[in-house]
Amino acid sequence: MTHPISGVGRRRFLTTLARSSAVMTAASMSRSVLAADPPPVMKPRATDGDDRFEPNWDERLTISVGEKTGDMIGKTDRVIQAALDYVARLGGGTVHVQPGTYTFRNAVWLPSRVRLLGSGTDSVITRLPSSRSELTLDSDWYDQEVTLQDGNAFQVGDGIVFQATNPHHQGATVIKRTLVARHGNRFKLNDGLRENLWLSGKPTCASLFPLLTSEHTADVIIENITLDGNRDNCENFNGNYGGCVFLQDCNRYTFRGVTARNYNGDGISFQISHDVVVENCHSHDNTDLGVHPGSGSQRPIIRGNTLERNSQGIFWCWGVKYGLAENNIIDGNKLYGVSIGHNDTDNIMRQNQIRNSGKFGILFRDENRGLDFWANRNIIEYNIIENSGDDDGAGIEVTGETKDIQLTGNTITETRGPARRVGIRIGDKVGKVDLAENKISGVATEIVDRRITG
């Protein structure tokens, strides 16, 4: 009998062993390759259809816009929109707005990969007074036209908003559109309604719009420009739909050196928009929020801004996470310097100066709307908080079931007399709060912890 590993058997065994080893080696290499990071892109080139890696070009197209001089001449939203669309069509570039006052009848929509550069306080974007009219005929959700009671205040090209009571669930209906054609008081819209505007819901049409807006775009820079909302002559427009700036579903926007002022609503508002940077901007005298990092926005950076005389300085809205607000001056806001609440977690607020807030310097809102909707795991450190609220005000007010927050190294002062004022007030249902090295002076009570006192 032939031994299993001698003669022919031996050759078969070695062959099988070699094959098995090769398979094992290949499998090991495969696992190693799969586990490793891909090789870095060392020399990026412009490749058709690949927008992830590209060289840093020394120069891109720049188009100048001016009232009397420039590549494009005009002083309305149309000329700035035309310039932005032109550079976007060629892959991106800069629109430089020359000194002057540009008066809008509609929002300018920002395309991807553009830079809108102003001339500081010398280039001002503003808008005409708002108008409103009732609708006189029912429009269904599939319609693309409406009939207004008074169309004289509206023009083709106007940005408008329809507002009504929803006929089915009695909630609010808000639809933003542009008027693109007319016959008498009948107006065609740029898009279908997709919601019913029935007379039973008392629908109206108003010429309300953000000055700058966008949806589903990315990689935009706006800098060194002044936006004025003509607050005294315009109705209020909710910050979930408008503002001097309003973004929805956008990525990687940078606002630098922008003034957003006098809007009957928010200064700068962005919803479900990620990696937005707001730095060295001035948002002031807006009816509502100075900077509004809105629902679901991830990783906002709000740095080096001055936020004055709004209703609130920074309003962390809903599910805003991993954000940073630092080195801001937040002064004279009518309600709160900073408000944070509905599932806004894992953010840092550091080295801000928060002064003369109407109610509280910083408010952790009570969000009793779900299992755990509070502003947990936020860090408040090394801020100066001065003169917060009325006689019962507080520098930092923590409410609801907020938990796992850190209040470290903050200086909370009161120069108007102690009255019944409090440095830090913690509600009775609040969870873990780490307090360390906070300096509190001039108040009646430095810390009120109702978890202890009831």
**Per-residue pLDDT at 66:** 97
Domain 132-206 CATH class label: mainly beta
Instruction: Share the mean pLDDT of the chain.
Output: 93
Sheet with 336-340, side-by-side order of all strands: 108-109, 212-215, 245-248, 268-271, 289-293, 312-315, 336-340, 360-364, 394-398, 422-426, 445-449
Whether 12 has a pLDDT exceeding 90, the answer reads no
Is residue 19 over pLDDT 50? yes
Mean pLDDT of 56-63: 91
Q: CA torsion, points 97, 309, 176, 219, in degrees to nearest 10?
A: 50
| The Cα angle at residue 12 between residues 11 and 18, in degrees rounded to 5 | 90
On the 0-12 / 13-18 / 19+ scale of CB atoms within 10 A, 6 is: exposed
Give which of 52, 40, 224 is closest to 121, Cα–Cα: 224
Residue spans per domain, the chain: 61-128+208-453, 132-206
Residue with tokens 């609040």: 430
Q: Is the dihedral of CA 359, 234, 177, 120 positive or negative?
A: negative
**Do the domains spanning 61-128+208-453 and 132-206 agree at the CATH topology level?**
no
Lowest-confidence region among 18-27, 272-281, 376-385: 18-27
Q: H or E element: which one contains 64?
A: strand 61-66
Query: Please, is 371 exposed, middle or buried when counting C-beta atoms within 10 Å of its C-beta (0-12, 13-18, 19+)?
Result: exposed
Q: What distance in Å separates the CA atoms of residue 207 and residue 71, rounded to the nearest whole number?
A: 29
CA distance linking residue 445 with residue 408, whole number of Å: 18
Residue 338 carries which DSSP code? Answer: E
pLDDT at 15: 52
The pTM for the full model equals 0.89
Asked if the model's pLDDT at residue 112 lies above 90, the reply is: yes
Other Cβ atoms less than 10 A from the Cβ of 76: the count is 16
What are the tens digits of pLDDT across the range 435-447? 999 999 999 999 9
- CATH superfamily of the domain spanning 61-128+208-453: Single-stranded right-handed beta-helix, Pectin lyase-like (2.160.20.10)
Greater confidence (1 vs 414) lies with: 414
Q: Are strands 445-449 and 422-426 parallel, antiparallel or unpaired?
A: parallel
User: What are the phi and psi torsion angles at 255 (to 5°)?
Assistant: -110, 125
Q: Please give the Cα distance from 219 to 113 (Å, whole number).
A: 5
The whole-number pLDDT of residue 35 equals: 55
pLDDT at 8 over 80: no
